[in-house]
Amino acid sequence: MLDVDKCCITRFPSPLLGQKAKPIEKIDDSIRALAEKMMDIMVQQKGVGLAGPQVGVALRIFVASPDGTKKNAKVYINPVITPSGKLEAAEEGCLSLPGIYGKIRRYSKCSIKAAGFDGNQFCEEAEGLLARIFQHECDHLDGTLVADKLSTVAKIAARKKLKQLRENYTQQKQ
């Protein structure tokens, strides 16, 4: 059983963020409570997407809201994404990597197949920001972070902040 009350933002370099998340076998009240908690955390942290590993849960679930509101937030369980369109670079950040931003190349469009709160499968087409959110969150489910996708120059520029995040993480674990 999930302890949803303990869910909070998981920060780099937590090993959980680098792992592939497991599929959700059964959508029950604990999964629905997790999704609600994730939406609340995303809105509180002023994000537009949040994946299971980012709240300490290694499950294939994410929530997304292009305008950052709970009213327009939606849950995606066991998503399968198919990118399309052309690759475009745009500035991206991540709630698990506070203060680190970089130009990330993503496809301009994608389709996603996932289950919702009710357990029913649905398909959705996305472009622009929503397509970027889907790709970013699916990366989290596969253990890939924005920091992994930064250019060499951007990695050099971010190294002090990454070092600080590592030090903060080590101090919290002690």
Question: pLDDT tens, 98-133?
Answer: 999 999 999 999 999 999 989 999 999 999 999 999
Query: What percent of the chain has a predicted confidence (pLDDT) above 70?
Result: 99
- Number of domains comprising the chain: 1
The β-bridge partners of 9 are none
Let me know if 125 is a catalytic residue. no
Alpha carbons within 13 A on the beta-carbon side of 13:
12
Q: What pLDDT score does 64 carry?
A: 98
In the predicted model, is pLDDT for residue 144 greater than 70? Answer: yes
Give the model's confidence band at 1: pLDDT under 50 very low, under 70 low, under 90 confident, else very high.
low
Please give the pLDDT value at position 5. 82
**What is the per-residue pLDDT across 30-49, written as a single tens digit (0 to 9) for each?**
999 999 999 999 999 999 99
Q: Write the CB contacts of 38 (distance below 8 Å, at least 6 apart in sequence).
A: 7, 50, 52, 55, 61, 62, 63, 75
pTM to 2 decimal places: 0.94
- Which entry of 25, 91, 125, 137 is annotated as an active-site residue? 137
Q: What CA–CA distance (Å, rounded) separates 10 from 12?
A: 7
Domain that residue 57 falls in: 4-173
Q: What is the mean pLDDT of residues 57-82?
A: 97
Torsion of CA 47, 115, 113, 52, to 10 degrees: 40
CATH of the domain at 148: 3.90.45.10
How confident is residue 4, by pLDDT bands cut at 50, 70 and 90?
confident
Residue 111 structure tokens: 């389709």
pLDDT at 174: 73
Handedness of CA 40, 41, 45, 51 (dihedral sign): negative
Distance of CA 39 to the CA centre of its chain: 12
What are the distances in angstroms from CA 64 to CA 1, 15, 25, 129, 130?
Answer: 24, 23, 21, 11, 8
Compute CA distances 125 → 16, 111, 145, whole Å.
Answer: 29, 4, 23
Identify the bridge partners of residue 125 per DSSP, sorted by sequence position. 111
